Structure 1
Amino acid sequence: MHKVFVVCFMAVLGFSCSGKTENKSHEAVRYPNQDAPLALLMREMFLDMEEIKISVEEGQSIKGYLEKYKELLTAKPTDQSVKTEAFQTMGMGYLANLRQFENSSDQELLENYKVLVNSCLACHSNYCPGPIKRINLLKLE
């Protein structure tokens, strides 16, 4: 009788720890803000910043991102309370830094890239600090 109980317990434990359940919980932790338009935009911005970092490191030309990211100011967040005046100000500052970066001379490119990354960090230190660790990976010396 004891062996039957142990076998049943192990079977239930095995099913409860299946890969599908684990992946869903992992995704929820990885992307706690799920599919809010602002969260999706921020993820895309990070991926683009990884490309930009490589371009800066290799001295390649920079694609234009400004038009793509103007939506930053209007995209719906997961929590509407983050759309404060300070958020708007920081968002406009980021877009201004992005414009300056995109118009940089070769000599200014690295310094203006650093300013752009720092504007991401400044905003995320006030709103949604979760991505700060990933944003720090974008830094160049």
Structure 2
Amino acid sequence: MLKMYQANLENKSLILEGKTPNAFPEEFINIHTAKLTDPSDRNASFKVFSEMYLNTFQQDFKTEKDSLKAKHNNTIYTCIACHKTTCIGPIPKIKKLLIQ
């Protein structure tokens, strides 16, 4: 999850500079097998939100510059929604990834 945070932080910086994010990190496809702080969090909600995250995050690399901010924020809102169901601790840190 820390790698995902870092990737989204880098994307935020690039977008704020008017640049398009680099290539999608293929290792994120394995989100379904990510090591979780609490293994019991790997439930039906996790599966749904992890798929949603992958779909929205991949859009950050396939969109026009004028919609990058919205696409990036959609990705971050997906993270926040997932963390509201379990593991709420990182939400304040995740919110800092939003582009105002």
TM-score, structure 2 length as denominator?
A: 0.91
Matches within 5 A, 1:1-141: 42-141=1-100
Larger RCO of the pair (alpha carbons < 8 Å, separation 6+)? 2
CA contact (8 A) 1:90 1:123 kept: yes
1:80-135 alpha-carbon deviations (Å, 9 max, x no partner): 21111111000000000011221111121111011011011101111211111101
Higher mean alpha-carbon deviation, 70-79 vs 49-58, is at 70-79
Moved over 6 A (4+): none
Name stretches of at least 5 consecutive residues in structure 2 with no aligned partner: none
Contact 1:94 1:116 in 2 (8 A): yes
The higher radius of gyration belongs to: 1
Aligned length: 100
Alpha-carbon separation, structure 2, partners of 1:45 and 1:76 = 13
CA distance in 2, matches of 1:78, 1:107: 37
**Sequence identity percentage:** 28
**RMSD value over aligned CA atoms?**
1.2
Residue ranges of structure 1 left out of the alignment (5+ in a row): 1-41
TM-score, reference length from structure 1: 0.66
Shift, 1:66, TM fit: 4.3
